[in-house]
Structure 1
Amino acid sequence: MAALSLTTPDPAERRGRSQRIEALATLPVFFDLTGKRVVMAGGSAAAAWKAELLAAAGADVVLYAPSGEIGEEMAAVLAARPAAGSLTRLDRPWGLDSFAHAALAVADCASDAEAKAFACAARAAGVPGNVIDRPDFCSFRFGTIVNRSPVVLGISTDGAAPILGQAIRRRIETLLPPALAGWARLAATIRGEVMARLEAGPLRRAFWERFAEKALTASAPDDDAAANMQRLVADIADAKNVGGRVTLVGAGPGAAELLTMKAVRALQAADVILFDDLVSDEILELARREAKRMLVGKRAARESCRQEEINALMIRFAKAGKHVVRLKSGDVSVFGRAGEEIAALKAEGIAVAIVPGITAASALAASFGVSLTHRDRASQVRFVTGHSKEGVLPATLNWTALADDHATTIFYMGGRMAPAIAAHLIAHGLPGSTPVAVAANISRHDEMRGAGTLAELAAIVARIGVERPVLIGVGRVFLECQASEMPEYDLGSSASLLQIAS
């Protein structure tokens, strides 16, 4: 069990727990404006948008704008009934008396002199002020908003790149279904029952995690949703002890952008994360910050945890009521020893779920810009382990079948065995001129790749480095990859590529 010492990384290490809070350019806060007086000055289109936004937040907006300053958009806003709050126009400019009893003050000013006067008057009255598009005169700024009310997200770039903020908003909106608003309203209705029946700590968290899974993956709550959630509260309250669970998560080939959304949700709901050595730092950065992270990687020729020790860790934490995420490179069901872990967990009565990931073979095809099953060159694709637990090629491989000129064969973790792989395939009839493609650290910033022929495989792998996690592709689908200039395909990283031509 001495290898377990590898699973307690120093807190100062980069792969350990991050700093609790990094430096913030601004502090995001949320104002409760329901029934509060907000001062608004100006009748422009920009002012109209802000007035409509403030009223939607429940504010009683008082607009100071003479008739001659009212533009078309402001006129339309004034004519419409706001979704919440109120909007009243006073046919006069703002003055020092305008700020009395105001919660916020917002203006669209024509000059720096007017902006400075408005900001100073608001500050003197003790009212937070914003002058539209003039950050030097603002005590607070509006962010870009994702509205799933009562879930509201604000995005700020500290005024540096508003267009970037809008792009981030669009990305978030694709991740948060509109139905989330209905689930958030349902949460408000059952919160009292949860607080009354479930003790603070694991019981409440168990409920809200399951609630969140429904909210982020299901359609809008139906008529039975409230009753179902109430039954869940009762079930957890009666159990008195919520059992832990394990989720086997595929981390993909390395780039965080290649994670599935379900994998990200699992990472953000984890209490404990047991991760492999090949899992990238950028993926770990997406995990829940409070989660305990433990490196249990297995790598050839290195000291590492035995599989039995990893199984024991998962069982121990799950029986302590924790949600354990077993984070594996690639896809958990492809050479990830998931079968052994599932069997061990089921034997202990521990619930286990699987979140698949993009396997390295798919990333290899994308990196080289090919199809693994080109209709004219390969009618099948095979995934083959490049080493056995004894550190050599598996004795059970059918080399006659693998030496098929009409198939694509991908050897996983076959770097050290590259000379033997080439020799066996050639000896069983595959031409030495058969194209091969080799890549290491696929989709990462330090990705390296090369292409050539089967006869050159050992030399290609030697130049890339046998110590790296190497993937070998063999088959005619890689024919064009032998060209001296191979295009770079975007896998979410700025890979520096080693080009090895025949």
Structure 2
Amino acid sequence: MSALSPIIRAVVRQPIEREATRIEPLAVLPVFFRLSNQTAVVAGGSDAAAWKAELLLAAGARLQLFAPSQTVGEQFTRLLARDQGDGRIAHHDRGWTPDGFAGAAIAIADAQTETEARAFYAAAKAAGVPVNIIDKPDYCDFQFGTIVNRSPVVVGISTDGAAPILAQAIRRKIETLLPASLAAWAEMARKLRATFHARLEPGLHRRAFWERFVDHAFGPTPGPAAEQALLDECDRITRAGGKATGRVMLVGAGPGDAELLTLKAVRSLQAADVILFDDLVSDSVLELARREAKRILVGKRGGRPSCKQDDINDMMVKLARAGKHVVRLKSGDPMIFGRAGEEIDRLDAEGIPVDVVPGITAGLAMAATLGLSLTHRDCARSVRFITGHSRKGSVPDDIDWTAAADPSATTIFYMAGTTADQIAAKLRAHGLDGHTPVVIASALSRPDEEVWRGELDLLPAKLREKRHGSPVLIGIGAVFGRRAATLFNHDEGEDHHPLSRSAG
């Protein structure tokens, strides 16, 4: 049983409802050949073969090229010219023969016919050499895939031949995520790894150091003092001695769509030992987490069995005291109606390091869905985020309704599905026009997203009509009247501003 189990049993009052699979089925197994100073056989002098040869040379291989001179194309001619004096390409002015595979680590061919491909493949296999025949997948032991190069960090991408163009698109996206400086940091890690490990005990101390290193690796290019700073960090961790205390990160999961996560949020999920996640966090977000991380559902939903906030606080403290890197994963933004303040206060009082990674809050996700600016200068001078639900189940007693009813403001009510009638009545009582545009939204950015538009006087009736499985967000203000004809369809026979659109 996991060492975390006693901690979890002592605190959690509900079962773990969701457990992601560590690894889904693979079409191919991604592996990386070490080819430095190894022999690679290349048969054929075409441009396609030349490109594969460039990859092999970049990996440090020594090439045995079998190709009659009259068949050597322009790209290979350039490679041969550049190699003069280096001796990394041995050109044999003839076709390949079975004895050419002796001592080879890998073999590549651009075969013109099925018969040639079959013969090359059989000869390579007989010599125990992995083989790839260009554009003939039936005669390939491996694929090259698409590469993102931050060497010594190398990312390989494969679609198993299904869509090479898609692999190129994925590569472009990854290129934007990995800074060029990553190569320098990775090279420094390789250079100093043995030194770091000689100074740090295995386990929590090493883990703490490498997590801090990763934070640097996604930042600016290391300067002249970077190596010494890392060594000093090793010494600080060693001097601290004793059992290392973990840390807690409060991470915003956004409204649901995993593509709306920040890069820092993804890195936090990848570094976590334990993830305490809300019920509203989507499976697609959890899929990005470190496979080995323990995932514990601590959701709090109105009208359902929930984990108490004090229990969650206790759990974070216990796990951090055990040296774990804890991610408290909250839907939306942790600092907007996420009880982050209570959690930070408790962690500060216990002396446990805590960091916050912001996320996209539901109010901003709604604005993006509608393509509306919450602060459009023709409509609004301010934005207010207000909770629509108190511990007593009604609207909070201390809302400044005069400010909320300001027609020059945009107001977003969170968790307002059961209190819409009270909200509408309070706003009307404080002078807000009953025709003020209103938007109701739920499950923003998710496949079951729903958005309706109407006016304040129709708000209570519409929410009584609809049944929502997820929390409801209500936006009120003139900005929600913009782009109405473009965004919403109006059926004849309904009121002037019917709540008629479902975007699910």
Is TM > 0.5 for Structure 1 vs Structure 2?
yes
Question: Does the CA contact (< 8 Å) of 2:149 and 2:155 recur in 1?
Answer: yes
How far did residue 88 of structure 1 move?
2.2
Matches within 5 A, 1:103-502: 103-216=105-218, 218-240=219-241, 241-480=243-482, 482-483=484-485, 486=488, 499=501
Q: Structure 1 500/41 Cα, relative in aligned 2: closer, same or farther at 3 Å?
A: closer
SS at match of 1:80: helix
SS at match of 2:438: strand
Question: Does the CA contact (< 8 Å) of 1:438 and 1:460 recur in 2?
Answer: no
Question: Does the CA contact (< 8 Å) of 2:415 and 2:472 recur in 1?
Answer: yes
2-structure distance, mates of 1:264, 1:500: 31
2-structure distance, mates of 1:148, 1:164: 21
Q: Deviations over 1:432-452 (max 9, x none)?
A: 111100100111111111010
Q: Deviations over 1:315-374 (max 9, x none)?
A: 111111111111111111111111111111111111111111111111011112211111
1-structure distance, mates of 2:141, 2:256: 42
1-structure distance, mates of 2:501, 2:13: 36
Question: Given residue 136 of structure 1, which amino acid in structure 2 is its aligned partner?
Answer: D
Q: Structure 1 5/373 Cα, relative in aligned 2: closer, same or farther at 3 Å?
A: same
How far did residue 82 of structure 1 move?
9.4
Question: Given residue 449 of structure 2, which amino acid in structure 1 is its aligned partner?
Answer: E
Question: Does the CA contact (< 8 Å) of 2:11 and 2:314 recur in 1?
Answer: no
Question: Does the CA contact (< 8 Å) of 2:442 and 2:468 recur in 1?
Answer: no
SS at match of 1:94: coil
Q: Structure 1 431/149 Cα, relative in aligned 2: closer, same or farther at 3 Å?
A: same
Question: Does the CA contact (< 8 Å) of 1:48 and 1:74 recur in 2?
Answer: yes
2-structure distance, mates of 1:358, 1:175: 19
SS at match of 1:437: strand
1-structure distance, mates of 2:84, 2:464: 69
Question: Does the CA contact (< 8 Å) of 1:56 and 1:85 recur in 2?
Answer: no
How far did residue 482 of structure 1 move?
4.8
Question: Which stretch of the first structure deviates more once superposed, 84-93 or 163-172?
Answer: 84-93
SS at match of 1:208: helix
Runs ≥4 in structure 1, deviation > 6 angstroms? 82-85
1-structure distance, mates of 2:258, 2:487: 27
Instruction: Determine the structure 2 residue equivalent to 1:45.
Output: 47
Question: Does the CA contact (< 8 Å) of 1:51 and 1:87 recur in 2?
Answer: no
Question: Does the CA contact (< 8 Å) of 1:62 and 1:87 recur in 2?
Answer: yes
How far did residue 6 of structure 1 move?
4.0
1-structure distance, mates of 2:128, 2:501: 64
Question: Does the CA contact (< 8 Å) of 2:450 and 2:502 recur in 1?
Answer: no
The normalised TM-score by structure 1 is: 0.93
Question: Given residue 472 of structure 2, which amino acid in structure 1 is its aligned partner?
Answer: V
SS at match of 1:242: coil
The normalised TM-score by structure 2 is: 0.92
Q: Structure 1 188/433 Cα, relative in aligned 2: closer, same or farther at 3 Å?
A: same
Given the alignment, which residue of 14, 25, 30 partners 1:23? 25
Q: Structure 1 232/82 Cα, relative in aligned 2: closer, same or farther at 3 Å?
A: farther
Q: Structure 1 90/208 Cα, relative in aligned 2: closer, same or farther at 3 Å?
A: same
2-structure distance, mates of 1:273, 1:343: 20
How far did residue 481 of structure 1 move?
5.9
Question: Given residue 172 of structure 2, which amino acid in structure 1 is its aligned partner?
Answer: R
Q: Structure 1 390/438 Cα, relative in aligned 2: closer, same or farther at 3 Å?
A: same
Question: Given residue 398 of structure 2, which amino acid in structure 1 is its aligned partner?
Answer: T
Q: Deviations over 1:372-404 (max 9, x none)?
A: 111111111111110111111111111122111
2-structure distance, mates of 1:234, 1:158: 46
Q: Structure 1 83/142 Cα, relative in aligned 2: closer, same or farther at 3 Å?
A: farther
Identity rate, percent: 58
Q: Structure 1 485/208 Cα, relative in aligned 2: closer, same or farther at 3 Å?
A: closer
Question: Does the CA contact (< 8 Å) of 2:12 and 2:311 recur in 1?
Answer: no
SS at match of 2:111: coil
1-structure distance, mates of 2:420, 2:161: 53
Question: Does the CA contact (< 8 Å) of 1:58 and 1:85 recur in 2?
Answer: no
1-structure distance, mates of 2:411, 2:454: 15
